[in-house]
Amino acid sequence: MNLRYLAQEGALIQQELGFVILLSIAALVAIFVRRIRLPYTVALVLVGLLLSLFPNLIEFEISSELILALLVPPLLFEATLHLPWGGLRRDLLPVLLLALVGTLIGTFIVGGMVQQILNIPWAAAIAFGALISATDPVAVIAFFRSLGVSKRLTILVEGESLFNDGVAIVIFNIAVAAGAASANGGTTYFSLSEALLEFIMVAFGGLAVGLVLGYIVSSIILKNVDDHLIETATTVALAFGAFLMAEAFGELINVPGLHLSGILAVVAAGLMVGNIGSYNTSPTTKITLNNFWEFLTFVVNSLVFLLIGIRIAFRQLTPNLVPILVAVLAILVSRAIIVYALGWLNGRLQPRNHIPTSYRHVMFWGGLRGAISLALALTLTDTFSPELANELQVMTFGVVLFTLLVQGLSIEQLIKRLGLGHKSPQQVEQQRQQTLLYTKQAGKTELARLRQEGILSPEIWEAMDAVYDADIVRHKADLSVHLQQFPELEQAMYLQARLDMLRAEKSALADAAQRGLVGEEVQHALARQLNDQVAALELIQANRGLGDEKE
């Protein structure tokens, strides 16, 4: 038998064994953290750090390609599946300010401080600033889902993190190109104007690829194919296919060297499926999709944070404490400037949709770093000298470790102290009763569809429909009694329902204008009235403490 084949087979078995061991460790950690107040992801990093003390224990290759191309796409896709476009659209300006302008500012602040204090070459300093300035969606989403923060704060943090990692990768690649030009003694041409043009093309091109693919899957396959297995498989192909098509776009159109942002393509595709495709599927498919992506996210998240801990070795950190401390100081300073300055600017641009100060505190301290920073750092050896690349990698490891362990462990207390993550028992019970009523009504609607299509006989439908009617009547009565006991909850429900209706009216007005049913002058007048009503209700919510926005 071919010896080369045997060697490849042995390496594959080692990788498979490493995967099994890591997944088993993750399951044990998940069981353990249920008994203690420790975030699951932090526990995984700590276990990974412990495993790093035994370098030969697990044979599992950790590369930038593994993280960026295999682990990150499903995490981003799953996160965007649950990101409502309505909420994101409301805060699109601050999200884009933070993701685009904030990442640029952070890159140059961090790069400038590192260059001045540590005397690192400009190209390398800017590359480090880019890879470390973007908040990592893998880390942020993993922490925030368990904290119970408000919907708007979640959208602000997740929205920023989902977009700014793609922006950071584009800036990083431009900085690396400048570093390559410098390393070649100036023989490689580099132009700032061309770099900016490339930035726009790569970022928006990636978004365009994701939007097109996501629309095709949502409006053609998910709408017309009623098979939960095929539809789920299609979303998996979309998550990885959007990334690969964007990155290999130049090869597809025969333009060597051209590539678009695969990360932003995945984000755009996930938004399309989550906000269009999910409404075109049956309840069975929705359940299958949610369960599958929840499981896949658990597996990938477990691998990501374990690998982060394994890759960050203590023996590398101790001799480089000064550069690490400089890097940590730089990212804290830049993050504070970005969040508070751009938050103030957003308030000046749209006073009715300002970001409360308490939100900005959480956004500042919740700027965690993780997998993407680590993946980009691992590629530095391809451009810079081994000594410089190693120093930048160790600085990255130190910053990632600081944000995960120090900021990650303390952010829950910050949220509680600010009063942003607490729900009273009365609110919890109200949500439980509303959810029960909502699910029963959804079941009754599906039952009517089955009868209309002839799948159920009239006798079976009548029996099951009677059960649903009884359950709905009971849950309505329970909710009514609960609201009578706590009338402030009914006020909150009324205000929220009124806000939802006004936003639906705004959407209908825009649709009417697009169809030519209303003139531009009338549209603007009606839009102003609706905006004033929305602003008034949001102000009432804030003053009564019924909404998300607490100062």
Could you tell me if 327 and 399 are in contact, meaning their C-beta atoms sit under 8 angstroms apart?
Answer: yes
Distance in angstroms (rounded) separating the CA atoms of residues 418 and 361: 9
Strands (E), 108-234: none
Helix, strand, coil percent values for the chain (each to nearest 5): 80, 0, 20
pTM of the model: 0.76
Q: How far is 508 from 523, CA to CA, in rounded Å?
A: 11
**Nearest-10 Cα torsion for 498, 501, 507, 512:** -120
Give the containing element (helix H, strand E) for 42.
Answer: helix 40-52
Is the pLDDT at 418 greater than 80, yes or no? yes
Mean pLDDT, the chain, whole residue set: 82
Answer yes or no: are the C-beta atoms of 357 and 551 closer than 8 Å.
yes
Q: Tens digit of pLDDT for each residue in 124-161?
A: 999 999 999 878 755 566 566 666 677 788 889 888 98
Of the chain, the end-to-end C-alpha distance in Å amounts to 71
DSSP H helices, 277-317, are 283-311, 314-317
Rounded Cα–Cα distance for residues 274 and 280 (Å): 10
Q: Tokens at residue 104, please?
A: 């640029």
pLDDT at 272: 92
Largest separation between any pair of C-alpha atoms in the chain: 84
549 pLDDT above the threshold of 70: no
Tell me which residue has tokens 């102003």: 528
pLDDT at 361 over 80: yes
Q: What pLDDT was estimated at residue 145? A: 61
Tens digits of per-residue pLDDT, 248-306? 888 888 887 788 889 999 999 999 998 888 777 877 788 888 889 989 988 888 888 88
Tens digits of residue pLDDT in 202-217: 889 999 999 999 999 9
Q: What token pair was written down for 533?
A: 């009503």
Check if the beta carbon of residue 355 is closer than 8 Å to that of residue 343.
yes
